Amino acid sequence: MEQKHEIVITEPGIRADKAVSAAMPTLSRSAVQGLIQSGHVRCNGVPVQKSAKLPVQAVLTVEIPPARPLEVAAQAIPLDIVYEDGDLLVVNKPKGMVVHPAAGNEDGTLVNALLYHCGDSLSGINGVIRPGIVHRIDKDTSGLLIVAKNDAAHRSLAEQIKAHSFTREYQAVVYGRIREDGTVNAPIARHPQERKRMAVIQSPSAREAVTHYFVVRHFSGFTQLRLRLETGRTHQIRVHMAYIGHPVAGDPVYGPKKVIAPLGGQCLHAGLIGFVHPRTGEYMEFEAPLPPYFTDFIKTLRPEEV
């Protein structure tokens, strides 16, 4: 069902897009621009431009069309499968691939590839958009993911994650010099003003988040780390490293505004995963070597002299 919202302008000369964003903070900037461009934002009945400056007492009408259900198609996208049996598979996801479809990324995702490879043999616990997906890693993070082929395997693996017995280790390059190993124990919640970001916040909505990090090597201006997740919150490593003043190199959201062009995103790789097999009870562990984008970046750095 279409939703309608009315906004009465109280600030003289405010731009239409800023007026909508201020009155409807749950909408992202791109969502607001999309509504304006498609004619769903009107001033006194007339479609507005985003830069239009509005007079006091003008009435903006914002129409939000009903969400269009996503149809997820199987696509013949190559997969780097590290392990597979009748209950699960372990996939090495490349940097730049989104895990599951969402608005703006409706195809070309890991799920599209899994549907082609596995057909109907994926757990349905997370619905049609995320079949088989037990946990996620960000689009520009590379590395290992486990996928469940049936609901029993999915439940077992999800319980291991909840109990903190599921092993997840990452490799990262971060800005600055971290002298020694350490742990970040700081709760994470969605940023109160920027809904696409997470932040360390002391609030009822914040969830426990613990990241252990170990120094691998020092470079001039950078440190290579191995990191072990105790919990698995959205953007956890990226948020925690930024919180202690050492954001992940190349991170466009939590790092410096200056972009490291060759990286095309954060230098972060999920290199190790370990779990108890849902059917056999055997502990299994898999590793994925550092990908070329990671090793090529390291080659550009100057090792710190001892």
Extended beta strands in the chain, E state? 3-8, 14-15, 41-43, 46-47, 53-54, 59-64, 81-84, 88-93, 142-148, 167-175, 182-185, 188-190, 198-200, 210-219, 222-229, 268-276, 283-287
Q: What angle do CA 195, 198, 200 make, to 5 degrees?
A: 135
Contact 160, 273 (CB under 8 A): no
Q: Which one-letter amino acid corresponds to residue 232? A: G
Q: What are phi and psi of 39, to 5 degrees?
A: 80, 20
Query: Hey, what are 20's tokens?
Result: 């909508």
End-to-end CA distance of the chain: 65
Sign for the CA dihedral angle at 281, 283, 289, 290 comes to positive
Interatomic CA distance for residues 27 and 38, integer angstroms: 15
| C-beta atoms surrounding 76 within 10 Å | 8
Catalytic position from the list 17, 85, 107, 138 = 138
Q: Confirm whether 138 is a catalytic residue.
A: yes
Residues serving a catalytic function are 138
